Amino acid sequence: MRYLTRRGGMFLVTLWAALTVNFIIPRLMPGNEAQSVLATFRNINPAAVKALEIQFGVNVHHSLIPSYFSYLGHTLTGHLGVDAQNVPVASEIFSKLPWTLGLVGVTTVLAFIVGTLAGIFSAWRRGGRLDAILPPTLFIVSTLPVFFVGLLLIYAFAIKTHVFPLSGNYTIGATPSFSLSFVGDVLDHAFLPGLSLLIVTAGLWVYSMRNNMITTIADDHVKMGRAKGLSGLRVMFDYAARNAILPNLTGFAMQLGYVLGGSIVIEYLFSYPGLGYLFYTATTDHDLPLMQGLFLFYTLAVLICVLLVDLLTAVLDPRTREA
């Protein structure tokens, strides 16, 4: 199907772009600074040092193009190098991944479901006080920077009162297991960070779904559904929502990038040891391989999500299959 090959092509192009960004950025660093950064690397492996030197463009004996291609080759085969502590980047990422996956995964899906349903219903029941106040309020909430929401929640629920823990992903000293108490502890710690993310992302969903629904409801085919004598609920879901949700799906994939970014800030704020916190510490350490590896990982995650959504759209919207 032409549609899918086109989307697959975009996948590759964007991946290539991310890799190129990774390659170019460090070379933009002023020379002497690059040297000092390299010096901070408590590195043992001389090959790794050499690779870094190439990336930074310091002490370079090779010219630009070959080093670019060797970089591409290395990365695409999974050799993400070692970080400043001489730990392989890939393993660092995978060890912290589950925590962020849990946090971000759950909140994103929940925000989408809750937000979309709320949007559908709010569009169906127009008129009255609620309709005038709710959408702009949600819109405003969705434009609040995520760190602000996090700050408020931390202050209100972890400092002023002690309803939820201040930081971390589980109480220090506890042994990880699948026991109820441990899981409860984890959820306890994940609640505020998750809520921060949920508030900001759900607001956006309700707003955009509501707008899409309002436009769709005015469409003739929804009127037709009513004319045929279908029940209100049926018309709302089968005729209006099914069409209104389509543009939202693409937005969902795009928003993942925003959520991942937000998770960096939130994990920093809550000292939650996931990928976001890792990214933050890598930044303060100027740990280039780790930062690059994470950036690549984030981009890949978003791209995979986009591809999955494209598949889903092809399934739900027969018109795309002909495109």
191 vs 258, which CB is nearer to other proteins?
A: 258
Q: What is the CA radius of gyration of the chain?
A: 24
Of these, 70, 171, 179, 231, which contacts other proteins (CB under 8 A)? 231
Going by C-beta distance under 8 Å and a sequence separation of 6 or more, which residues neighbour residue 129? Answer: none
130 vs 183, which CB is nearer to other proteins?
A: 130
Q: How far is the CB of 291 from other proteins (least distance, A)?
A: 6
Please give the structure tokens belonging to residue 57: 């463009």
Coil, strand, or helix at residue 82?
strand
Query: How far, in Å, CA of 296 to CA of 282, rounded?
Result: 14
Q: Counting Cβ atoms within 10 Å, is residue 179 exposed (0-12), middle (13-18) or buried (19+)? A: exposed
Please give the structure tokens belonging to residue 273: 């040891």
68 vs 139, which CB is nearer to other proteins?
A: 139
Cβ 115 vs Cβ 206: under 8 Å? yes
Q: How far is the CB of 145 from other proteins (least distance, A)?
A: 4
Q: Is residue 139 near other proteins by the rule CB under 8 A?
A: yes
Q: How far is the CB of 64 from other proteins (least distance, A)?
A: 17
Query: Any idea which residue has 């609920």 for tokens?
Result: 233
Tell me the β-bridge partners of 82: 88
Please give the structure tokens belonging to residue 253: 């994939």
Of these, 286, 289, 290, 293, which contacts other proteins (CB under 8 A)? 286
Q: Is residue 254 near other proteins by the rule CB under 8 A?
A: yes
Of these, 153, 265, 278, 309, which contacts other proteins (CB under 8 A)? 265
Scanning 106-114, 121-129, 174-182, 189-197 for contacts with other proteins by CB under 8 A, the matching segment is 121-129
Residues 21-80 that bind other proteins (CB under 8 A): 21-22, 25-26, 28-30, 33
Of these, 101, 151, 183, 308, which contacts other proteins (CB under 8 A)? 151
Please give the structure tokens belonging to residue 299: 């981009």
Q: Is residue 127 near other proteins by the rule CB under 8 A?
A: yes
